[in-house]
Amino acid sequence: MKSNGGPDLNGLHDPDFPLPEGLQSTIAVTSLDRVYNWSRKNSVWPLLFGLACCAIEMIATAASRYDFSRFGMEVMRASPRQADLLIISGTVTKKMVVPIVRIYNQMPEPKYVLAMGACASGGGPFKEGYNVVSGIDKYIPVDVYVPGCPPTPQALIHGFLTLHKKIESQSIRTVPWYRSGESAGIPIPILGPDIIDPRQAELIRRQAELAASNKQEAAPAPAEA
């Protein structure tokens, strides 16, 4: 931060263009990508959305000791329509993944997903449970994984900084959300006899056929013998 209280231009100014001493705190020469990403990464608004134990550490990160408003993130939004970042802070159950996919679909682009902790990343200690999803990436794309059970606030902040790097690496010319055509939402999972991913409808049908043909094969065998 410059002493005159102006914005931090250090991350913005392109060092290849030297500026006179007195102008460094007020003028920056930069590229469109850089100013676009610089402003985006410093105002990532997370969704006010907690799942389980990790949510407690997420709240601790938001509180005064760790204070993630230092990264322009303090405006946690309760509506997915206003949020940029979905922090999956805890175990995703089969019952809960349905609303989570719906929430993800409701978030406007550009949107990011951070899988916080072991459960969100891969099922964690509860992976073998009958109602537990083995990681949210089975249903929605994830940008940053933060290990830990639960991750400490420092680890979560490291995850945020990693996300900043990812945002910095994007270019306005190639990002998907400015391409023509509509981006399709993720199909909402169905709660049937077990959770059903509609994208696997064909696979489920093939498995049923396979089971039926195995049964047919198995059935005559004892008759012959």
**Does residue 75 bind other proteins (CB under 8 A)?**
no
Q: Which of 9, 103, 155, 186 binds other proteins (CB under 8 A)?
A: 103
User: Using CB under 8 A, which residues numbered 114 to 143 contact other proteins?
Assistant: 119, 123, 125-134, 138
- Residue number, 23 or 212, with CB nearest to other proteins: 212
- Give 136-170 as a 3 state SS string: HHHCCCCCEEECCCCCCHHHHHHHHHHHHHHHHCC
CB of 75 to other proteins, least distance (A): 11
**Does residue 217 bind other proteins (CB under 8 A)?**
no
CB of 38 to other proteins, least distance (A): 23
CB of 201 to other proteins, least distance (A): 4
Q: Which chain residues interact with other proteins by CB under 8 A?
A: 48-53, 55-57, 59-60, 62-66, 78, 90-91, 93-96, 99, 103, 119, 123, 125-134, 138, 149-150, 152, 190-198, 200-201, 203-205, 207-208, 211-212, 215
